[in-house]
Amino acid sequence: MMASPTVTIGILGAGQLGRMLALAGLPLGVRCRFLDAKPNCPASPVGEVIHEGFKIGPHLDRFADGIAAGGGVITYEFENVPVEAAEHLTEHATVRPSPRSLEVAQDRLRERELFASLRIDAPRHAAVHTLDELEVAVGDFPLPAILKTCRMGYDGKGQARIKSPGDAAGAWETIGGHHSVEGNGGAILDEMIPFERELSVVAVRGIDGEVRCYPPVENMHRDGILVRSIAPAPGVGEVMLAALEKAAAAVAEELDHVGVLAVEFFETKAKEGRPARLLANEFAPRVHNTGHWTIEGAATSQFENHLRAVLAMPLGSTEMMAGAHAAMVNIIGGWPDREALLRIPGLRVHDYEKSARPGRKLGHVTIVEASEGAMREKLGAVEAMVNKG
């Protein structure tokens, strides 16, 4: 018989993912301390936030203080944390997932090279480091295409569409041009996939190498921002399920990743006897917006499973309740009438306590129902109400 083994972990980033990690940790006796660049963060009400940023400095020692001695580890919820900071912190405590997961995920080119090395199909791409290289590349590339910075892009930022060769210079400027792209990892010119839908797999890999996948999720984006996810993704047969899980497990294994990661895929339309294709688009070495439904919809949430993994605890079940159907809708830019939302029976509201701003994810709501029909009915009620502004 033992007392409560309270442990503190350090989290790089104090956004909503950190907030939800802390909320998952508290019932397990796991407390979180955060590092971020700003003082008022979504995670502020659930743990101490050291808000002096990610540069190397004495505040990193303060952030790491006592964590290793107390049996804790350092992890991250923000994938654009400087790799140097994560590496520096490995001198103070175990960092899981290892900084290598960060390093690869931060660079679209290395990410695509990883997929290629694992024989995971992905959109065709070309590496471009200068406008000259881009001008050459567009001459020999199926258009329209998308130009993406290799580094620091998220939620549709750092991207521009190229419909004809003449768009190259403008697109180069849009993504930051020689100011911020050259010498900073460059960019990739990416095949534009006329995809039918986007799918993602959230997986957790334990310290012993075991990988468990949540059911695949169908996602809808608008302006590059995730709007909603449905789990399990409808119409995913055994063959596709196996391919999705195999790809996610391969990425996790290759990186010796410990914790949660998510891989996003495009599914193309099946036509003229050719089956639908799955193309890996990107992965995130962390808990993921397309896994938020697991808080209510799975036996163990992605947040709890990430904590279990990085703390070398046994992984939790990634299964849904038999027959259950979940949907998650992001609240973007502004909240609808709160009372009207709360009147939808069984709707779960997650408010990140962020100030409203166009395009900003302020929270999400989750529906879990015993039938797909009931889930879709409530999803319709939610979508009639949110993200109208």
- What does the binding site for a second copy look like in residue numbers (CB under 8 A)? 1-6, 19, 23, 26-29, 31, 45-47, 299-300, 308, 313-314, 316-317, 319, 321-324, 333-339, 342-343, 345-346, 348-356, 362-363, 368, 370, 388-389
Provide the minimum distance between the beta carbon of 387 and a second copy in the complex, in angstroms, as a whole number: 9
Looking at the Cβ atoms of 96 and 212, the one nearer to a second copy is 212
Q: Are strands 47-50 and 30-35 parallel, antiparallel or unpaired?
A: parallel
Looking at the Cβ atoms of 28 and 136, the one nearer to a second copy is 28
Looking at the Cβ atoms of 139 and 314, the one nearer to a second copy is 314
Provide the minimum distance between the beta carbon of 17 and a second copy in the complex, in angstroms, as a whole number: 14
Looking at the Cβ atoms of 109 and 332, the one nearer to a second copy is 332
Residue 165 neighbours by CB distance under 10 Å: 14
Looking at the Cβ atoms of 150 and 320, the one nearer to a second copy is 320
Provide the minimum distance between the beta carbon of 48 and a second copy in the complex, in angstroms, as a whole number: 10
Sequence-ordered list of residues with C-beta below 8 angstroms from that of 307, at least 6 positions apart, any chain? 9, 21, 24, 25, 28, 30, 313
Query: In whole angstroms, how far apart are CA 285 and each of 63, 106, 282?
Result: 21, 9, 10
Provide the minimum distance between the beta carbon of 359 and a second copy in the complex, in angstroms, as a whole number: 12
- Beta-bridge mates of residue 228: 220, 329
How distant is the alpha carbon of residue 126 from its chain centre? 24
Structure tokens given for 326: 């979940």
Sequence-ordered list of residues with C-beta below 8 angstroms from that of 167, at least 6 positions apart, any chain? 160, 161
Structure tokens given for 62: 């303060």
Provide the minimum distance between the beta carbon of 315 and a second copy in the complex, in angstroms, as a whole number: 9
Q: What is the 8-class DSSP label of residue 337?
A: -
End-to-end CA distance of the chain: 55
Looking at the Cβ atoms of 272 and 337, the one nearer to a second copy is 337
Provide the minimum distance between the beta carbon of 209 and a second copy in the complex, in angstroms, as a whole number: 17
